[in-house]
Structure 1
Amino acid sequence: MITAVNTAVVWVLDQDSAQTFFTEKLGLETRMDVPFGEGVRWVTVGPKNQPELQLTLMVPGAPMQDAESAEQLKSLLAKGALVGCTFTVEDCQAAVKELSARGVTFLQEPQPKPWGLSATFRDDSGTCHELLQPHQ
C-alpha cells in the first residue's frame, strides 16, 4: 500500500529560472540537479523541514512526451492554465507580505476558505500555486 508521496511534478518552461524562483523567492532548497539523459536534467526542490518530499521541476518534452504533446503543455503553461501545489504556512498574511517583497506575484490576497486562509500566486512559468494557513 502507498505510505507517502515522495515526488510531485511541477511543469516549468525553464529549469534554471524555476530553480531560482523556487529557492530564492519561495525559500525552498535544491535537493537534486543532475543529468537525466541527453539534454535533460532532474532538478528537485523541497521545503527544508520536509526532507521526504521533493518537487521535480520538469520541462515538457522528451522523454516524457512526444513533441506535439510537449508543445501543447508548454502552451498551457504560458497561458497560466495549470494548477500546481499548495504550500502550508503558519501565517498567510505575513507570508504574502514577505514573498511579495521578494517579487512573487499574487493573484489572490489571503481569503478565508473552508480549509483555511488561502492566497494564490503564479510561479515564473505561469503555474498557479496556493499558500495555505490551515484551520487550527
Structure 2
Amino acid sequence: MNVTVHHAFLPHTDPEAALRFYRDALGFEVLDDVGYEEMRWITVGPRGRPGTSIVLHPPTADPGISEDERRTIAELMAKGSFAAITLATDDLDGLFERLEAAGADIVQEPADQDYGVRDCAFRDPAGNLVRVNQTA
C-alpha cells in the first residue's frame, strides 16, 4: 500500500497576494484557480509534481460557520497561529534570499537546529507559518 499527501489546505485572505507569494516568490505553478461569487480557491504546487499541491482557500467559505467562528478564525490568522506547513528544498540559503528579496515576512533565518535539521521560517500574506527544511 502506498499513501501520499495529495492536497494540503491553507487559508488566504487576498488571492493576488497569495499568488505573488506562492507562484512568484516560491516558484510554484498554478494548477487550478476557481472562483465563486467573491471567493477564490487557488491550487499551487511544485513544478513537475502535479500529485502534490496546496489549496489556498477562503478561510470562512463554509456556510455552516457561525459569525463567532468567523471572528475567531480571523483573529487566529491575524496572530499567525491558525495554519502552518513545512516545505523542503535542496537550497535553503538560496530560497531564503529569494523570499527575503520578495519582501516575505521572515520569522527565522536559516539555522542548524539541535534536532538535526537546517531550516528557516516565514509567514505568507495571510499569516500562515511556512517552515522550510534543507534536504540532503
The residue identity in structure 2 corresponding to 1:133 is: Q
| Residue identity opposite 2:78 in structure 1 | A
C-alpha change, 1:64 and 1:21, in structure 2 (3 Å) is farther
Change (3 A) 1:105 1:40: closer
Is the partner of 1:97 in helix, strand or coil? helix
Work out the percentage of aligned pairs sharing the same amino acid: 29
Aligned to 2:77: 77
Normalising by structure 2, report the TM-score. 0.86
- Unmatched 5+ residue regions in structure 2? none
Q: Name the CA distance, whole Å, in 2 between partners of 1:49 and 1:116.
A: 25
For the residue of structure 2 that corresponds to 1:49, the secondary structure is coil
Structure 1 unaligned spans of 5+: none
Superposed, 1:39-118 pairs within 5 Å as 39-63=38-62, 65-66=64-65, 67-113=67-113, 114-118=115-119
Q: Alpha-carbon deviation of 1:94?
A: 1.8
TM-score normalised per structure 1: 0.86
Q: CA deviation at 1:30?
A: 0.8
RMSD of Structure 2 on Structure 1 (CA): 2.0
Counterpart secondary structure, 2:75: helix
Distance 2:53 2:85 in 1: 12
1:22 alignment partner AA: Y
Give me the whole-angstrom Cα distance separating, in 2, the residues matched to 1:89 and 1:33: 25
Specify the alignment match of 1:8 in structure 2.
Answer: 8
Superposed structure 1 runs of 4+ greater than 6 Å apart: none
Instruction: Tell me if structure 1 keeps the 8 A contact 2:11–2:83.
Output: no
SS at match of 1:19: helix
